[in-house]
Amino acid sequence: MKTLPLLASVALLATSSPLLAETVADIFRITGGSSTTRANFHPVEIPKGGEHVLADLEGPGKITYFYITDDTVGKWYPGLVLKIHWDESKDPSIEIPLADFFGAIGGRATVYESSFMQVNQACFMCYLPMPFSKRARFVLHNDGDRDYRQKVAYGIDSEQDPAFAQEKSRLHASWRRGNPVKGGRHLLMEAEGRGHYVGGFLQAVSRQHHIWFGEGDTIFTIDGRTFVHSPGTEDEYGSCWASPAWPTYNTSVCGHVLNDNGANRMYRWYLANPARFQKGIKVEIQNQHLNGTPTSEDADDYTSVAFWYQEDSRKATPLPSFEERQLPSFDVNEKSD
């Protein structure tokens, strides 16, 4: 672990988010909203380079639940990309490979349950609240190397409510891969403006399976201040004193859901402590191995999906091409990370 200042002033990380769905304490509360669902089960054909609109919703409102599956039973075609547009924006604020959006990095699903995301019996579920004032469009884009033809089932729950007409917060997400990580650091997300980071997924494929890969710290830069959030990868994702035999687990806010032949997959949600920013934020994680003392930088294959809210819709982080995303681990891709 590098010696950046470990700040105890986690006052920067506020203790609640106004965008979360009702808590147990508030489930009784009656609002001015009216709920609806857009659901379907039908054959979907998307030619190579084409798109299919799952839903085009009128606002003001808030999406409260989104699930999807197809008859590959969890073996998603990696050329399917989920695009989400807010209001009248021509550019999506979310442009993520569909499986990866739910944490099934590279299309490989593992069963887990958390507060915001869940995968169970090939059903991929998202509970992240998504407010919008005018319009919300969910689109599947095929940027792969063949046509897509499958039976697809999906549902999008939402509530229309005039209260969201003035709500500026919009959900954003980014997909990044360092193959390999360069300079010992992987960028999880970066944004300018005002908002808060709520977490996401990380998959690390290690070159050296027998050596502990997770000595890297998580580093926040918020409004120009840089500090370490967690002194070690396993600390960031909900356990301590891990080793190459790191067992799998999943909880409401953090989990380690895959440990297979050097591939480790994790998630972390800042449910009670979203990382708030007023001007900008950058979140990185070090790629360090335990090779004695001190630890040493490495160049493993890191893939991440990060989620945050910020005012108004911003254009999504550019998604690498299908060919780049499909490169095997450690085939050097200069455009990554």
Residue 30 has pLDDT above 50, yes or no: yes
Residue 48's pLDDT band, with cuts at 50, 70 and 90, is very high
**Those residues with Cβ within 8 angstroms of residue 135's Cβ, 6 or more apart along the chain or in another chain:** 56, 57, 58, 59, 85, 86, 87, 88
**Secondary structure class of 233 (helix, strand, coil):** helix
Q: Write the pLDDT tens digit of every residue in 181-205.
A: 999 999 999 999 999 999 999 999 9
Residue 223 has pLDDT above 60, yes or no: yes
Beta bridge partners of 85: 137
For residue 29, the model assigns a pLDDT of: 85
148 contacts 87 by C-beta, under 8 angstroms: no
Residue 6's pLDDT band, with cuts at 50, 70 and 90, is very low
Residue 220 has pLDDT above 70, yes or no: yes
Percentage above 90 pLDDT, the chain: 78
Domain 10-325, CATH number (from 3.40.720.10, 1.10.540.10, 2.60.120.1390, 1.25.40.80): 2.60.120.1390
Mean pLDDT confidence for 216-240: 95
Residue 336's pLDDT band, with cuts at 50, 70 and 90, is very low
Percentage above 70 pLDDT, the chain: 89
Where does residue 13 rank: exposed (0-12), middle (13-18), buried (19+ CB within 10 A)? middle
Sequence letter at residue 72: T
Bridge pairing between strands 249-250 and 296-297: unpaired
Residue 14 has pLDDT above 80, yes or no: no
